[in-house]
């Protein structure tokens, strides 16, 4: 009985040793001290832009010279004598030397005329006295406003002539002597050379002829 007990104890002891040898041992590893986490610094590198380069634009420098603006010409054409009466007329702006008609306006029964959209500059001003080859009714002659004016005759085919220091009677006499030629008068005018239109304003100019 004792012998059996001894064997049993020896068996238990061997079993305990065997289990101890097979049991894994847990070794506590040292804990690493906390470390400060460093935030990586982002490095920004510029890459070539794919946007096309801006096209150079031309900047206009303001000019010191003002741009001429269209103007207008208004006024009254009248015939003075014992009394002043309006004259139904045609006021024309013609180019100097070439006689090209650039603008015109008809006067009404009150003698008022108006020409719009006139380019500034110098013109010849032609004011119609009569279209007939005869004296104006009620006058023995028609005199110009002053010595700066001329008597002008307009012929068919845009031909013309002017006379200095002349009255309407002198122009009528000249045309009468031209009968039989190919020149046919279509109008007798008071002509003012170097007539200037100012830029961008209403130019007012009255014309008064003298009935003698």
pLDDT of 63 reads 57
Strand partners, 185: 155
Q: Domain spanning 71-211: which CATH class is it, in words?
A: mainly beta
The two tokens of residue 20 are 């101890």
Distance of alpha carbon 141 from its chain centroid, rounded?
A: 49
| 8 Å CB contact between 155 and 185 | yes
pTM value surpassing 0.75? no
CA distances from 47 to 40, 44, 51, 53, 77 (A): 21, 9, 12, 15, 79
pLDDT of residue 62: 59
What digits encode the pLDDT tens for the residues 151-207?
A: 999 999 989 999 999 999 999 999 999 988 889 999 999 999 999 999 999 999 999
Q: How far apart are CA 104 and CA 116, in angstroms?
A: 9
Whole-number pLDDT of residue 169: 97
Domain residue extents for the chain: 71-211
């Amino acid at each position: 009985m004792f012998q059996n007990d001894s064997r049993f104890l020896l068996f238990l002891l061997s079993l305990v040793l065997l289990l101890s040898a097979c049991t894994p041992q847990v070794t506590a590893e040292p804990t690493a001290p906390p470390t400060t986490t460093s935030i990586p610094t982002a490095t920004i590198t510029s890459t070539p832009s794919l946007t096309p380069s801006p096209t150079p634009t031309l900047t206009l420098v303001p000019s010191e010279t003002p741009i001429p603006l269209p103007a207008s010409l208004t006024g009254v054409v009248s015939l003075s004598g014992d009394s002043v009466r309006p004259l139904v007329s045609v006021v024309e702006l013609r180019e100097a030397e070439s006689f090209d008609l650039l603008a015109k306006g008809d006067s009404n029964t009150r003698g008022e005329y108006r020409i719009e959209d006139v380019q500034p500059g110098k013109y010849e001003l032609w004011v119609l006295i009569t279209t007939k080859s005869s004296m104006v009714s009620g006058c023995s002659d028609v005199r110009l406003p002053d010595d700066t004016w001329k008597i002008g005759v307009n012929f068919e085919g845009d031909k013309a002539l002017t006379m200095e220091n002349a009255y309407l009677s002198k122009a009528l006499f000249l045309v009468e002597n031209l009968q039989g030629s190919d020149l046919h008068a279509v109008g007798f005018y008071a002509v003012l050379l170097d007539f200037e239109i100012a830029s961008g304003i209403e130019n007012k100019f009255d014309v008064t002829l003298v009935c003698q």
